[in-house]
Amino acid sequence: MTRFADFHARSIHDRDAFWAEQAQRVDWKVPPQQICDYSHPPFAKWFVGGETNLCHNAVDRHLQDRAEQAALIFVSTETDQEKTYTYRELHAEVQRMAAILQDLGVVKGDRVLIYMPMIAEAAFAMLACVRLGAIHSVVFGGFASHSLASRIEDASPKVIISADAGSRGGKAVAYKPLLDEGIRLSAHKPDKVLMVDRHLVAFTPVAGRDVDYASARAQHMDTIVPCVWVESTHPSYTLYTSGTTGKPKGVQRDTGGYTVALASSIPLIYQSQPGDTFFCTSDIGWVVGHSYIIYAPLIGGMATIMYEGLPTRPDGGIWWSLVEKYKVNVMFSAPTAIRVLKKQDPALLSKYDLSSLKALFLAGEPLDEPTAKWISEGLNGKAIIDNYWQTETGWPILTICNGVEKAPSKFGSPGKAVYGYNVKLVDDQTGEELTGANQKGVLTIEGPLPPGNLQTIWRDDQRFVNTYWKTVPGKLVYSTFDWAVRDEDGYFFILGRTDDVINVAGHRLGTREIEESISSHPNIAEVAVVGVADQLKGQVAMAFAIVKDSSGLLDAASRLKLEGEVMKVVDSQLGAVARPSRVLFVSALPKTRSGKLLRRAIQAVAEGRDPGDLTTMDDPAALQQIVDLIQI
């Protein structure tokens, strides 16, 4: 087996040869003439001169060897539907969708906005767009009109594809009124809206604009729509970041680089092979859903499960029952989902036959040790592999590449820099590289960013350069805006976001470190720590915690007692300087729709300021609780 260190070094020092080899994992109509053009940093062009098609690589090319194999398994516990599409059937559905889009005037380079629940038609829609060279912009189905309107304006789509409704916890959530309002609020109007009618909620189509998918599909049962070959650098899609730290950024992705990056990740990171079954529990509205529900598993010739529903309905065993039923080999989820399951009966984990499962990958947020341990034990010691990445990168920056060389995971660490990523820790003040063990710095990536990473911010090259590449003094490097340390073995530990560092009387503390410490108290289920302005100390830490068992917390005295206990834990682990000035108990924490803690909003209200852009927030009541607590 190759040594990972050599493999990684080659990807950086012999970059073009390395990626030329990886590029052979995908089909090219015209092979690339140049592997990487980095003549205009920080803009990197990958596989220049090559022509390919993402849909061809995900669907068509498998028809020869695996036409009758499962490709897409749609499971909805919301509508009690289950349907498996073979590669042959998926190919037919994608062509039907593509034919409809063609009828609606969509050609290469046009934008198509997809505002849909987790149904098979959403996958057809994404694949049909890239088949035609159209650029999709998927907007998470939970977003309301205001967020939707700003994304419609930014993408200026010719066509929007939507549905009458999503469903959550068995209740229909109407999309159509939100969509109509979103279009009304937007300065840009789409020519057409293609409506998938699930018959969950009645709606009135807008005459001349809305097109019914079922009737349009019936016209195209046998229509053949060839893939449109596009340049490797042709954009495949745009997608927004989660908006955890501010206004979301519209990431633009290429075609060739993305296809190669995903194709390589399947064997090298996810240790999967054609014919395997992949179950990623994310949503197509997020980058993990784009890469690991739709594109990568299909590029890899696998079956992918697309799940609509909650992880706890009908009960907390639903995901494991799917692992048993579909013999899932690899699962991919998020720490936030595992924390939800942790509150369920642990017996649900041993009820099903999970012998097919090789590994569980988790991404999106720090994987705290108690959660990692809980799931690792629950899954009988199966590999739990943390992935650290961003919407911007499209695939992991840090993880353990067990497909290159087997290596142990360390709790609390996502692992090492992935091949292709020239990761450097730097001092944010001086820009100096930190090479020693356990030095805390900003995690940066030296250009060119590897294939699959963002090309730019959609329609805003300047914002791309200024946001990501201008923050480290004296250096043109990509900043992730996350703090990290690297241990003696080269394993990185993410300490939190650069704007989550607080300064208490001259001591710089990561809020995440304090959160980790508080979480180790046996009665704390989840906690958010923010820095709050303080006249004396500059800033002080303030903690908002959810308890596991609140039965003993009914009066102020018992709350104070627990607060004191938590403070003692922090004192003993990190020192009194990190001790939060208050530990307040809440029943929920404000999060983005993708499940990330909205620390900036908590911080703002804790300081009595306006919380700013909240369009990606999930549950406003959670923030209101904090507003109320602060006012007491």
* CA gap 451, 188 in Å, rounded: 32
Q: Convert 196-221 to b/e letters by CB count within 10 Å (16 or more is b).
A: bbbebbebeeeeeebbebeebbeebe
User: Which part of the chain contacts Mg ion (CB under 5 A), choosing from 235-243, 281-289, 322-330, 613-621?
Assistant: 235-243
- Show the CA angle centred on residue 126, arms to residues 124 and 127, nearest 5°: 65
**Residue 391 binding ligand ATP, by CB under 6 A:** yes
Give how far Cα 280 sits from Cα of 246, 294, 362, Å.
27, 9, 10
Q: Which bin fits 447, alpha (ψ -120 to 50), beta or left (φ > 0)?
A: beta
CB of 388 to ligand ATP, least distance (A): 4
* CA gap 338, 359 in Å, rounded: 14
Could you write out the three-class secondary structure of 301-334?
Answer: CCEEEEEECCCCCCCCCHHHHHHHHHCCCEEEEC
* Contacted by 596, from Mg ion, ligand ATP, none: CB < 5 to 8 Å by type: ligand ATP
User: Which part of the chain contacts ligand ATP (CB under 6 A), choosing from 38-46, 216-224, 365-373, 447-455?
Assistant: 365-373
Shortest-Cβ-distance residue relative to Mg ion: 241
**Residue 111 binding ligand ATP, by CB under 6 A:** no
**Residue 79 binding ligand ATP, by CB under 6 A:** no
CB of 512 to ligand ATP, least distance (A): 8
* CA gap 589, 620 in Å, rounded: 10
* Contacted by 513, from Mg ion, ligand ATP, none: CB < 5 to 8 Å by type: none
Token pair 């995908």 in the structure block, residue:
26
If one counts every other C-beta atom within 10 angstroms of the C-beta of residue 76, the result is: 19
Q: Which is nearer to ligand ATP, 367 or 578 (CB)?
A: 367
Q: Convert 108-143 to b/e letters by CB count within 10 Å (16 or more is b).
A: eebbbbbbbbbbbbbbbbbbbbbbbbbbbbbbbbbb
**Residue 238 binding ligand ATP, by CB under 6 A:** no
Token pair 């292709």 in the structure block, residue:
420
Both tokens assigned to 26:
């995908």
Among 363, 434, 457, 606, binds ligand ATP (CB under 6 A): 363
**Residue 270 binding ligand ATP, by CB under 6 A:** no
* Contacted by 300, from Mg ion, ligand ATP, none: CB < 5 to 8 Å by type: none
* CA gap 289, 94 in Å, rounded: 18
**Residue 386 binding ligand ATP, by CB under 6 A:** yes
User: Which part of the chain contacts ligand ATP (CB under 6 A), choosing from 55-63, 119-127, 380-388, 576-584?
Assistant: 380-388
**Residue 611 binding ligand ATP, by CB under 6 A:** no
Q: Which is nearer to ligand ATP, 288 or 524 (CB)?
A: 288
**Residue 596 binding ligand ATP, by CB under 6 A:** yes
Q: Within 445-504, which residues bind ligand ATP (CB under 6 A)? A: 480, 482, 494, 497
Among 248, 309, 316, 510, binds ligand ATP (CB under 6 A): 248
* CA gap 85, 69 in Å, rounded: 8
Quick note: the x/- pattern for ligand ATP over 547-586, rule CB under 6 A, is ----------------------------------------
Number of residues that bind ligand ATP (CB under 6 A): 26
CB of 247 to ligand ATP, least distance (A): 7
- Show the CA angle centred on residue 519, arms to residues 518 and 522, nearest 5°: 105
User: Which part of the chain contacts ligand ATP (CB under 6 A), choosing from 90-98, 148-156, 238-246, 337-345?
Assistant: 238-246
Q: Is 533 exposed, middle or buried (0-12, 13-18, 19+ CB in 10 A)?
A: middle
* Contacted by 205, from Mg ion, ligand ATP, none: CB < 5 to 8 Å by type: none
Q: Which residues bind ligand ATP (CB under 6 A)?
A: 241-246, 248-249, 363-367, 386-391, 414, 480, 482, 494, 497, 594, 596
Q: Which residues bind Mg ion (CB under 5 A)?
A: 241
